[in-house]
Amino acid sequence: MAPALDDNIFLVCEFDLNFKEKEINKIIKLLADLFEELYSIDDIKNWNGDISFFYKYRDKVLLYFKMYDL
């Protein structure tokens, strides 16, 4: 039986309507690349459900947006 998501992870983002599509695509690509840089498929498959597993990603995303706002 094939995995339900076929090794895909869905990234859900919400943006203000003032953002342009090009800018949104750039940010989403950056977020996806960052996630793939931090976690392998095996990391995700072996994830035990503990949300703290993703704290490193959260911290990097928060830092990115903090720098983005400067």
The answer, yes or no, to whether residue 70 has pLDDT greater than 70, is no
pLDDT digits (tens, 9 = 90+) for 5-49: 566 778 888 888 998 999 999 999 999 999 999 999 899 889 999
How far lies 60's CA from each of 5, 10, 32, 69, in Å?
25, 18, 12, 14
Residue 1 pLDDT: 42
Coil, strand or helix at 9:
coil
pTM, rounded to two decimals:
0.74
Domain spans in the chain, listed from the N-terminal domain onward:
21-68
